[in-house]
Amino acid sequence: MEQENKILEVAKRTIRTEAQAVTDLVNGIDIAFAKAVLHIHNSQGRVIITGIGKSAIIAQKIVATMNSTGTPAIFMHAADAIHGDLGIVQTNDVVICISKSGNTPEIKVLVPLIKNFKNKLIAITSNKDSFLGIAADYILHAAIQEEACPNGLAPTTSTTVQLVIGDALAISLLELKGFTDKDFARYHPGGALGKKLYLRVQDLAEKNNKPQVLASTSLRDVIVNISENMLGMTVVTADNKAVGIITDGDLRRMLSSGKNIDYLHASDIMSGNPKTIKASSMAVKAREMMEEFNISQLISVDDKGYSGVVHIHDLIREGII
């Protein structure tokens, strides 16, 4: 138990140290940040983000965030840059260089090259008076009191702060661009997040069979219809309007009652007023309705009436659930 308590103590101390550094950033954000954001927003080029070591990993995450929120960005490793990759940087690009100390050998070689190209340089550094800080056009001060690492060596608090500044940049640019959920969906067509924003009920229903019986259909034929369409249910229609639904559960309850199925029809066991959803509705709306009514399928309807079925398995398959 003593060891477990020690682990919890270390974990909480780490979280508190990093949380405090992030909180302190609020007072550290100054006009240089706003000017840097405006310069990126008004530039005709891309954002090139570079760094070395753990800062390079943070740079890659910021690049991914910017690309997904409408700001074209490219990662350039600082070490690779001085060995040929500097050709990534084009005339109108803005370069963001991330370095805790701002004085690493690779940074000292890279920064003058960027300045010679006349590209604007934004520094994210914990040391404003470093080689990088002095050379930068805009300094985003990633100030920290201490690393969470007790030896003060492993980048922990410093990389957390760098990451938060990167997120602040990306979201500020998103707001300036008026980036909407529809824009987000365009950049995430294959992901679950994007699907929640563009996938509609009709997109799911059209992939399923369309089970359908009449109220007068014999119960034996109802069972065959449910079995053939493999959705665990069928829709009872009249003039292509959904007037009822019969599920596997309805069949089980009927069979357990001991009634003679030879004299039963769909109308005898169907549930009236079935839950329906417009085919044009978002798939995420179907999920909400299924959760609200504790059901596993919905009947899709359009201007012509019954158009198909959306099942909970469809939502799971697409990552909506």
Helix segments in the chain, DSSP class H: 2-28, 31-42, 54-68, 78-81, 105-116, 131-135, 157-177, 181-187, 192-198, 201-205, 219-229, 248-256, 266-269, 283-293, 312-317
- Across-strand partners of 138? 122
How many Cα atoms sit within 13 Å of 264 on the Cβ side?
18
Note the pLDDT tens digit of each residue in 32-87.
999 999 999 999 999 999 999 999 999 999 999 999 888 999 999 999 998 888 99
**Quick one: pLDDT at residue 142?**
95
Confidence class of residue 254 from pLDDT cuts 50, 70 and 90? confident
Kindly tell me if the per-residue pLDDT of 186 is higher than 60: yes
Note the pLDDT tens digit of each residue in 5-41.
999 999 999 999 999 999 999 998 999 999 999 999 9
The mean pLDDT of the chain is 92
Kindly tell me if the per-residue pLDDT of 182 is higher than 90: no
Taken in order of first residue, the domains within the chain and their CATH numbers are: 2-179 (3.40.50.10490), 198-317 (3.10.580.10)
Say what the pTM is.
0.67
Kindly tell me if the per-residue pLDDT of 265 is higher than 90: yes
